[in-house]
Amino acid sequence: MTYFVVLFLIGFVLGVVAVASNPAPYFAALGLVFAAAGGCGVLVGHGGSFLSLVLFLIYLGGMLVVFAYTAALAAEPYPEAWGDWSVLGYVLLYMVGLLVIGGWLSVDWYINSWVVIDDFGTFSLLRGDFSGVSIIYSFGGGMLIVSGWVLLLSLFVVLELTRGLSRGCLRAV
Amino acid sequence: MTPVHFSFSSAFILALMGLAFHRTHFLSALLCLEGMMLSLFIALSLWSLQLEATTHAATPMLLLAFSACEASAGLALLVATARTHGTDRLQSLNLLQC
């Protein structure tokens, strides 16, 4: 279990390195998918399977799909992947920075630093993460209404931003 | 700093550096912003899971809701940029250049 968590953590950080080195947006979205998959694996290893499901569903299935087809606006004839020297320079810079700082911090890590705290005492139907999320519907009712209102308002924000016909924003004329 | 703490902190700082050192496309800067949001989601979820603070399990869900608003606003700006300037390359946003 600990070994899986270590592998998923490494996959998460490498995925974020793949995004941060700024290749063409097609490949950056792919790196973000791998980073989200690694992050979901870490959460599952720690016992938060509902939060991992929410991340996959909303983040990858909702937001990243929108980014993926918006990548059609960023089309270029020769997209730069991580093999191009301009992107590879950033990748090497970030990997060297990670290894240096990780090496400086890892003197305090021992074999039990990676062990996962999970509730193995009882096999209960109620896990901590989704029991906690259901608090939104009782004590967190105000925050539920506020976030619903914010989502509705952002819909109108998007409508105003992309209005066009010289009434939108970012007009060059 | 435990290794898990180091991993999501370094993911946040890496995505922030990717946003700061943006190169050509506006969309890749927005994807770095999404990477920062992902690392914050992992951080808040691990806080709730490792400290067994179950009432804090709602915080990553609310973070996800607000980050969806932010992503939609960013993409609407991208579409508006592509509509007026013809491309989302950052070199074309040069009206204020002297």
C-alpha angle with apex B18: A38 to A97, nearest 5 degrees? 75
Residue B75: its pLDDT value, please?
A: 93
d(CA A83, nearest CA chain B) in Å: 16
User: Per the domain annotation, does A20 fall within a domain?
Assistant: yes
Residue B1: is its pLDDT beyond 60?
A: yes
Q: What is the pLDDT of residues A5-57, one digit of tens each?
A: 999 999 999 999 999 999 999 899 999 999 999 999 999 988 888 999 999 99
User: Per the domain annotation, does A168 fall within a domain?
Assistant: no
Count of structural domains, chain A: 1
Which two tokens mark B85? Answer: 């300037």
ipTM for the predicted complex comes to 0.92
Residue B68: is its pLDDT beyond 90?
A: yes
Q: Considering only residues 13 to 52 of chain A, which have any Cβ-Cβ distance to chain B shorter than 8 Å?
A: 13, 16-17, 19-25, 28-29, 32, 35-36, 39, 42-43, 46-48, 51
**What mean pLDDT is predicted for residues B53-69?**
92
User: Per the domain annotation, does A10 fall within a domain?
Assistant: yes
What's chain A look like in SS3?
Answer: CHHHHHHHHHHHHHHHHHHHCCCCHHHHHHHHHHHHHHHHHHHHHCCCHHHHHHHHHHHHHHHHHHHHHHHHHHCCCCCCCCCCHHHHHHHHHHHHHHHHHHHHHHHHCCHHHHCCCCCCCCCCCCCHHHHHHHHHHCCCHHHHHHHHHHHHHHHHHHHHHCCCCCCCCCCCC
**Contact call for B27 and A35, based on CB within 8 A:** no
User: Per the domain annotation, does A138 fall within a domain?
Assistant: no
Sorted by where each starts, the structural domains of chain B and their CATH numbers stand as 3-88 (1.10.287.3510)
User: Per the domain annotation, does A23 fall within a domain?
Assistant: yes
C-alpha angle with apex A61: A56 to A66, nearest 5 degrees? 140
**What mean pLDDT is predicted for residues A77-84?**
85
Which segment, A120-129, B5-14, B83-92, is predicted with the most confidence on average? B5-14
Of all residues in chain B, what percent carry a pLDDT higher than 70?
99
pTM over 0.95: no
**Contact call for A48 and B11, based on CB within 8 A:** no
Residue A150: its pLDDT value, please?
A: 96
**Contact call for A150 and B77, based on CB within 8 A:** no
Q: Considering only residues 75 to 134 of chain A, which have any Cβ-Cβ distance to chain B shorter than 8 Å?
A: 86, 90, 94, 98, 101-102, 105-106, 108-109, 113-114, 117, 119, 128-133
Task: State the residue range of the domain holding A10.
Answer: 1-104
Residue B27: its pLDDT value, please?
A: 93
| Cα–Cα dist A69/A56, whole Å | 18
Q: Considering only residues 55 to 74 of chain B, which have any Cβ-Cβ distance to chain A shorter than 8 Å?
A: 55-58, 60-62, 64-69, 71-73
| Of the candidates B22, B72, B27, the residue with the CA atom closest to the CA atom of residue A74 | B27
Ramachandran angles phi, psi of A118, nearest 5°? -135, 155
Residue B63: its pLDDT value, please?
A: 95
User: Per the domain annotation, does A9 fall within a domain?
Assistant: yes
User: Per the domain annotation, does A44 fall within a domain?
Assistant: yes
Residue A157: its pLDDT value, please?
A: 92
Candidates B49, B51, B81: best to mutate against A (most CBs of A within 10 A) is: B49
Cβ–Cβ under 8 Å, residues A60 and B66? no
Q: What is the pLDDT of residues A100-152, one digit of tens each?
A: 999 999 888 887 787 777 655 567 777 777 888 888 999 989 999 999 999 99
Cβ–Cβ under 8 Å, residues B31 and A67? yes
User: Per the domain annotation, does A71 fall within a domain?
Assistant: yes
